[in-house]
Structures are given as structure tokens and as C-alpha cells.
Structure 1
Amino acid sequence: MRSAEDDLTARARIRDAATMLIARQGFASTTVRAVATAAGVSPALVLHHFGSKAGLRQACDDAVWDEFHAVITSTADDVSAGELLRQFSIRTNHSPAAIYVTRALLDGGEFAHRVFDGMVADVEGYMANAVRSGIVRPARDEHTRALMLTSYSLGSMLLGRYIVGEDVDPIEIPDRLIDLFTDEGLDVYTDGLFTDSRIRDALRTATAAEKAKGPAARSAANATQSTNHPKGMS
């Protein structure tokens, strides 16, 4: 006779097996039978615990989000260099969840929006603490900075197979990206990209001048440009 503890262990094993399979091959290609085989249980037991393939996916979604949220918030109160290095040292543990999120973002839907919005909020909170601690400079717009950082991070994940190669196991992509981009990324974030503020200042001046023209003037300028450059001509 199975105990309640056995059922909980089997449920977690099934969920983790499903998360790994979905990360590797996508939800549409992951069958209940394949999950059962990977977890070492029967398809009937999968359905006993989760009711359906959709129910299994919901459980995976919830577990993956909990993991992602915990990774960010675990450092919220400790933004020291030592804690950041500790997070890098355990990064492999989070690779299946990271690829799972990438698959979800490609598929779209409620979970994708939940993850993206949640990550932006978590990053914004983390950066606020980092600013208070003195490790990060304040931003002109903290929310926009969090939105940008989240987009950059997820963007590299979405392009991961193009960056590291088609033949790489998807589960290995997060670690490959970290190994490839960490040093250069730290240089950019620490030292900056431009040698001075000329480009930023010129762009802001031009943007302010454009906004000052008003919508009507901008529309007239665009119409003139279209007339001077007919479609199909360079």
C-alpha cells in the first residue's frame, strides 16, 4: 500500500521529469507516456496525480515560477559580491527551469506573461536594494531599467541556440551563455561602453528637439521624407 509520502515523492518526480522534457522538446512534443517513462511510473499514475496533461503543465508552471522567484528574491537582502558569486556557482541547478521559461516565452500565453511581469518586478526590487547598498548606481527610471535588464537576459536565452550552436543540449545553454558573456558583460556594466557622454547627450538633445516640434510637424516631415524617397528606391 502506498503511503502519503510515497505519493508526494512520486508527484514531485513526475513533475520534475515533465519539466525536463518540456524544456528539451517543448510542451506539444511531450506526451504523458513519455513523462511516465522518464519518471519511472505508469501513465495512469501521472493522470492520478495531475488529472490531465494540462494539469501537469500547470504544476510545472507553478514550480518553475517559484524557483525563478526564489533565485532572485534570495539575494534581495544580500547584494554583496560574495552572494552574487554564490549564485553563479549554483547556476547549473536552474538550467532546466531557465530553458522551460524560454519555451514558455516562445509559446506565449498566461504563464509567459506571468513570468515576464514577475521577473521585471523582482529585478526592480533587487536593483532598488542594490542602489541602497551602494553597489549599483541609481537609474533615471528604475522600472525601465529593470524592464531593460530582464529583456536583455531573456533575449540571450531566446537566441541561445544560435549563439552556442544547434547541437548543444538545450539544458546546457544557460551555463554556456554565462561562460561566454560573464566577463564581457561585467566589463560593460562596470566600466560602461562609451568613453564619454557625447553620444548620450547628442541623442537626448535630438530627441528633445523632435518632441518639441509636435505631432503635426513630425507628420509633415515624415511625408516630405516619403516623397523624397519613393518606395523601392534607396
Structure 2
Amino acid sequence: MRSDIEDFTTSSKIRDAAIELFGRNGFAQTTIRDIASAANVSPGLVIHHFASKAGLREACDRRVLGISSQLTVEKADVDALQKMMGEYLSHPEKYRAETAYIRQAIIDESALGDAFFGALVSMTEDMLDAGIKGGSIRELEDPRATAVVLASNSMGMLVLGRHVARSLGHDAYGVDTINRIGIPTMDLYTHPLYTDERFLNAARAVIAISDKSRER
């Protein structure tokens, strides 16, 4: 029993150190030795728990995606979303390592990076489904494609955070930037940007013609 608890604590310490370093330095640049040093363990112990750097990366993905999954579904509930936003804005440092990790995972051109984004899209689709069932989100023509658009917008904001902050006169992407874009983001999701359906109908017409031409 005691040995199992110690192993769990050690593996968690290694995993959390890896999340920190992967997010800060990138996956390719971070070595097993770097992670072992940060976790104050031997490189051999890292291999013992995770078999390889790829195995450790997968464990980090599962951890970060597990946290993100819970938060994503909660976004469909007003009270849960308000609580989540308040917690983040009050203690942004608690989410710094995970946020940096997600940024690196999105820009990482690898099979694991692809799988990570696919998981984020699926979680967003679950959020939309929960919102539709709960009455906070309207019925959608194509929930999967809508989930892709929303996930891309959110991750794009994260990846481009430095540029977003700079464009708004801030030194870095942080609470000040999030406070500035929070209302415009919710406003766009709550109220239509266009005053009628002319642009929507134009897009439908063009896409219908394109689909027909490809069928020939």
C-alpha cells in the first residue's frame, strides 16, 4: 500500500514537472534529463514510470485534457461558467502551466499534437450538445463543424496571445487582455454580427453551387 502511494506521488511529480517544461520550452526541446532534474528524480525513474518521453507526453495530455474536459462542459451552464471565469481571473497563476502546455500542444506538428486538437474539438462538441439539451444554446445545422470553428477560435486566441495583447496595448497576454476581450467575445456569441440573413444565405448559395460542381 505504502509503495503504491509513493509511486503515485512520484509519477504525479514527474508528470507535473513535464507539463511545466513542455509548456515552457516545447516538446522537442525538453529532454528526459531536464524533466528528471526538475522533478528531483533520476532519468531512470522517469523511464520506469512512463517507459519513454512519448509515454510521458501521453500522460501529460491525459491530465491536461481531463482538466479541460470538465471546464469545457461547464461552459454550457451560466452559473458554472461565471464561477470558472471568476476563479481564473482571481488566480491565473494556477492555470499558467496547463495554458502554456495547451499552446505548445496545438502548435506541435505531430500525431500527438493532432490527437490533442481532435480531443479539444470533441470536448467542444460535448459542450454544445450539453448547451442545446439545457436550452442555453440553439439548435445548430452542423454541430461538429461548429465545434471545429469554436475550438479553432479559442486556440487561435491562445496561440496568438502575444499579438492579441500587443494589439490592445498590453505587455503580455494575461488578465488585462482577457478582461478586455471577454465582453466582445460573449457579445459575438450572444448577438448576431449581421443584422439579417443575407450573408448566411449568400454563403449557402455559393456552397451549394460548389457542392454540385464537385459532384459532376
Superposition TM-score tier, normalisation by shorter sequence: 0.7 to 0.9
Q: Give the CA deviation at 1:118.
A: 2.0
Report whether the alignment pairs 1:83 with 2:84: no
- Hey, what's the Cα distance between the residues in 1 that align with 2:65 and 2:187? 30
1:20-169 counterparts in 2 under 5 A? 20-73=20-73, 75=74, 79-91=76-88, 92=92, 93-164=94-165, 168=172
Gaps of 5+ in 2: none
- Hey, what's the Cα distance between the residues in 2 that align with 1:175 and 1:95? 11
Q: Give the CA deviation at 1:19.
A: 0.5
- Hey, what's the Cα distance between the residues in 2 that align with 1:56 and 1:206? 46
Identity of aligned residues (%): 33
Counterpart of 1:186 in structure 2 is 186
- Hey, what's the Cα distance between the residues in 2 that align with 1:212 and 1:42? 58
Counterpart of 1:6 in structure 2 is 6
Gaps of 5+ in 1: 218-234
- Hey, what's the Cα distance between the residues in 2 that align with 1:22 and 1:9? 20
Amino acid at match of 1:143: R
Amino acid at match of 1:130: G
Provide the TM-score with structure 2 as the length reference: 0.80
- Hey, what's the Cα distance between the residues in 1 that align with 2:125 and 2:5? 38
Listed one character per residue, the Cα deviations across residues 106-158 of structure 1 (whole Å, up to 9, x for unaligned) are 22222222222222222222212212222112112222211111111111122
- Hey, what's the Cα distance between the residues in 2 that align with 1:9 and 1:100? 21
Q: Give the CA deviation at 1:167.
A: 7.0
Q: Give the number of aligned pairs.
A: 208
After superposing the two structures, state which structure 1 stretch, 109-118 or 186-195, moved more: 109-118
Quickly say closer, same or farther: Cα 1:167–1:3, change in 2 above 3 A: farther
Contact 2:61–2:116 under 8 Å retained in 1: no
Quickly say closer, same or farther: Cα 1:52–1:187, change in 2 above 3 A: same
Listed one character per residue, the Cα deviations across residues 51-95 of structure 1 (whole Å, up to 9, x for unaligned) are 33333223222222222223224x28xx33111111223333444
Provide the TM-score with structure 1 as the length reference: 0.74
Quickly say closer, same or farther: Cα 1:176–1:29, change in 2 above 3 A: farther
Amino acid at match of 1:63: R
CA RMSD of aligned residues (A): 3.0
1:189-200 counterparts in 2 under 5 A? 189-200=189-200
